[in-house]
Amino acid sequence: MSVSKTSSETVHVNDSSNAIVMKGITKKYGNFTALDNVDLTVPEGTIFGLLGPNGAGKTTIIKVLTALIPADAGEARVSGHDVKKEPKLVRANIGWVAAEVILDDDLTAMENLWLQAKLQNLQEWKERANDLLKYFDLFDRKDTKVGKYSTGMRKKLEIALALLHQPKVIFMDEPTIGLDPGTRRMLWQLITGINREYGVTILLTSHYIEEADALCSNLAIIDHGKIVATGTPSELKSKVNADIIEIGLNYEPDVTVFERMEGVLDASRTENGMRLKVTASEKILPRILSSLKIEGVVKINVDKPSLETVFIDLTGKRLSEEDNKMDMRKFYATLRMARR
Ligand SMILES: Nc1ncnc2c1ncn2[C@@H]1O[C@H](COP(=O)(O)OP(=O)(O)O)[C@@H](O)[C@H]1O
Ligand SMILES: [Mg+2]
């Protein structure tokens, strides 16, 4: 089996070693194009992340790949099976960990597993269920009603249910949404753990940069139904080898002044100010500030090379809702430096 990876755009992998292949998938909801000619290749055994803002089309991709909804054009194979022609074989080979609650609180963990086995029409499931309960440290609590479980224990059981029929691929749609940071980190460990222990390929969606970076060996960045970049987190980061400075202003700046500055790779207007792509923000920030009307500066934001800067560079907007606003003390210190 030859796997040669020359760059993020050209991944030459034998089809047999790919858990998921999508080619030219388009999906419309009425007149609205939710997926626009999507190509995606997920190598077997990887944790693959679909990273994009709300409404980008992440859930729609999962729905197409799990044969829940048909695509309007294109082809998709999961675990070697065509989603359109062999939906049953696709479903037999996949598991889905949904964001919604799927556990029955009035049943014990073992009863939930039994119900899952019924739903999946599994004959031999008891031994696997016991093994999974042991793996997830739930064996001692197998006869406890799930209503009494903590959030972390529930997550473990949800994953155990998804693994019961020994799927080759697991889909996780925004798996950590709404979880507290501690439980989120525990879930990250579980995800990498089952990937290693059971060899399952995991396709997860996220709109958290940090999560995609920490968990995924491969990523596709999606925006408005289009894949805008693919690669490993470090390949993606090396694409934008620059800092991005965003400056909020209460007046209209003349960006040509900044375009000409040494160390500025790009300068553009934004809704509330301007955005600069620079080689080294520490060096250049004082010079930039001294060229601005300081009383007109309302906000400064500096991003070091990260998946966030990749997203900003590709789409002109920020992926995280939370801006990491510059601490104002640091801001005034920089200002004093600029005036020296
Ligand atoms: N059943 C539907 N009918 C109409 N529009 C939909 C439907 N499902 C999703 N959409 C739209 O398609 C786009 C992509 O949705 P979705 O795949 O859920 O995005 P994501 O999971 O990335 O947040 C969104 O603009 C959403 O409003
Ligand atoms: Mg979604």
34 CA distance to ligand 1 centroid (A)? 6
Residue 54 alpha carbon, nearest atom of ligand 1: 23
Record the pTM. 0.84
What is the pLDDT averaged over residues 302-314? Answer: 90
Place of tokens 């600069």: 276
* Residue where a domain terminates, one of 219, 237, 255: 237
Atom of ligand 1 nearest to the CA of 52: 22
Q: Measuring from atom 17 of ligand 1, which residue has the nearest CA?
A: 57
What's the domain range around 73? 3-237
Q: Do residues 199 and 244 both lie within one domain? A: no
Ligand nearest to the backbone CA of 173: 2
Whether 58 is in the pocket of ligand 1, judged by its Cβ within 6 Å, is yes
Atom of ligand 1 nearest to the CA of 56: 22
- Measured by CA distance, the residue closest to atom 6 of ligand 1 is 29
Look at the chain and report how many structural domains it folds into. 2
Q: Which of 60, 64, 221, 228 to mutate to test the pocket of ligand 1 (most atoms within 8 A of CB)?
A: 60
9 and 24 share one domain? yes
Same domain, yes or no, for 252 and 327? Answer: yes
What are 201-226's pLDDT values in tens digits?
A: 999 999 999 999 999 999 999 999 99
Over residues 241-282, the pLDDT tens digits come to 899 999 999 999 999 999 999 999 999 999 999 999 999 999
**Which distant-in-sequence residues (6+ apart) come within 8 Å of 304 by Cβ?**
243, 281
Instruction: Say yes or no: 255 and 231 in one domain.
Output: no
Whether residue 112 is found in the same domain as residue 231: yes
Judge if 324 and 255 occupy the same domain.
Answer: yes
d(CA 20, CA 49): 12
Say yes or no: 97 and 177 in one domain: yes
Q: Is 63 in the pocket of ligand 1 (CB under 6 A)?
A: no
In eight-state DSSP terms, residue 55 is T
Ligand 1 contact, 56 CB (< 6 A): yes
Q: Whose CA is nearest to atom 14 of ligand 1?
A: 57
Q: What is the CATH number of the domain that holds 139?
A: 3.40.50.300
3-state helix/strand/coil string of 216-242 = CCEEEEEECCEEEEEECHHHHHHHCCC
- Residue 222's beta-bridge partner residues? 227
Return d(Cα 139, Cα 130) in angstroms, integer. 7
Atom number in ligand 1 closest to CA 173: 21
Which residue pairs from 194-198 have beta carbons closer than 8 angstroms and sit at least 24 positions apart in sequence?
A: 194/159, 194/163, 194/170, 195/45, 195/46, 195/47, 197/135, 198/163, 198/166
**How close is the Cα of 219 to the center of ligand 2, in Å?**
16
pLDDT at 188: 95
- 327 and 186: one domain? no
Specify the pLDDT at position 319: 87
DSSP string covering 64-112: HHTTSS--SEEEEEETTEETTT-HHHHHHTEEEE-SS----TTSBHHHH
**Average pLDDT score over residue span 16-37:** 95
Query: Given pLDDT bands bounded at 50, 70 and 90, which one contains residue 26?
Result: very high
Residue ending a domain, choose from 218, 237, 256: 237
From 25, 27, 29, give the residue whose CB has the most ligand 1 atoms within 8 Å, as the site to mutate: 29
Residues 150 and 274 in one domain: no
Q: Tell me, yes or no, whether 199 and 329 share the same domain.
A: no
Residue 57 beta carbon below 6 angstroms from any ligand 1 atom: yes
CATH value at residue 255:
3.30.70
Are residues 109 and 171 both part of a single domain? yes
Residue 305's pLDDT band (boundaries 50, 70, 90)?
Answer: confident
* Beta carbon of 233 within 6 Å of any ligand 1 atom: no
Q: Are residues 165 and 295 in the same domain?
A: no
Residue 324 pLDDT grade (very low, low, confident, very high; cuts 50, 70, 90): very low
Ligand 1 site-directed mutation target among 26, 28, 32, most atoms within 8 Å of CB: 32
* Distance separating alpha carbons of residues 162 and 113, to the nearest angstrom: 10
Q: Dump pLDDT digits (tens) for 36-61.
A: 999 999 999 999 999 999 999 999 99
Instruction: Give tens-digit pLDDT for 57-108.
Output: 999 999 999 999 999 999 999 999 999 999 999 999 999 987 677 899 999 9
Q: Which of 237, 270, 288 is the last residue of a domain?
A: 237
